Amino acid sequence: MSRQLFVIDPVERLRPQKDSSVALMQAAQRAGQEIWICQLSDLAAGNGGPRVRAQPIQAEPWYQLGDPEWLPLSHFPRVWMRKDPPVDEAYLYGTHLLELGERQGVQVLNRPASLRAWNEKLGALRFPHLMAPTLVSSHVADLSAFAESHGEVVLKPLGGRAGQGVIRTSAQAPGLGALLELVTNQQQLPVMVQAFLPAVINGDKRILLVNGEPLGAINRKPKAGEFRSNLAVGGQPEATALTAQERQICRELAPALREAGLFFVGIDVIGDRLSEINVTSPTGVREVERLGGIPLADLTQEQLLRPNLT
């Protein structure tokens, strides 16, 4: 029996009917894998190499824990980095410790170096032709000029998640300059500004890609009076199918994702425009399974356990 380690938030906080990490753990158990868990603070390294204080878990039914023990990180052929953002100092140091395990042959999902390199807002700018008009800048004058050119715009903090801190505004909005000074910390912090896409009223698609292949998607519709469609801020999930353009977006992303070792990714698409590439702890598995009838977590394990996966 092989083993998989999941680096997660405290297990008691996970909601089994909703959480994608739980879905992935349960699918791994069904695939005959031995499942262990830890938190970022349980990673360590020294002269003996990287190690981890981990606990075995019976994930289905949810959940039963075994006793924790210190083990070499190489004890686990596959390690899932499923700690939710923010990508703070603890998170970044955790990726460095996991990278030491990579050097010993551990497969880390997703690759630690790529978790650092692919900011979930900035990563999409590797494919600017797939996006709505976008600017990242710290300068109020540049951001104001962008808003003047595009009318309604959306401001996004580069470290934000789940729709937090996303603001819809326009060049005509009173106090725009003061708002831009605030979000840029007096022109010291870059932010992203994008042309507002009215198509968001029809929803924002979350597409889950496994080893570059789109295995399922949901459409997230914003609640009344809201433009943000994230589930965390009240968006409602619904079943959906991919458009031809969305499939083309996935085909264009796939080679770069595979090369970067980004095995499990959630992309966001609004009106056939790429919005974000989520790599840290993508969600949506439960919704795809429930609304689309797709056993996405089990399909993910099938992809992972293929002998020829690189």
**8 A C-beta contact, residue 33 and residue 4:** yes
Distance, CA of 142 to CA of 125 (rounded, Å): 18
**8 A C-beta contact, residue 237 and residue 208:** no
Distance, CA of 86 to CA of 280 (rounded, Å): 9
Distance, CA of 29 to CA of 208 (rounded, Å): 21
Q: Parallel, antiparallel, or unpaired: how do β-strands 49-58 and 43-46 relate? A: antiparallel
Distance, CA of 237 to CA of 283 (rounded, Å): 12
Q: Which helix (H) or strand (E) holds 195?
A: strand 191-195
Residues designated as active site: 121, 156, 206, 220, 228, 268, 276, 278
Q: Which helix (H) or strand (E) holds 92?
A: helix 89-102
Which residues, in sequence order, are CB contacts of 192 under 8 Å at separation 6+? 121, 122, 134, 135, 136, 155, 156, 157, 158
What DSSP letter does each residue of 143-180 carry, written as one string? HHHHHHHHSEEEEEETT--TTTT-EEEETTSTTHHHHH
- Return the residue matching tokens 């349980």: 42
Q: What SS3 class is residue 104?
A: coil
Sign of CA dihedral 194, 195, 201, 202: negative
68 strand-pairing partners? none
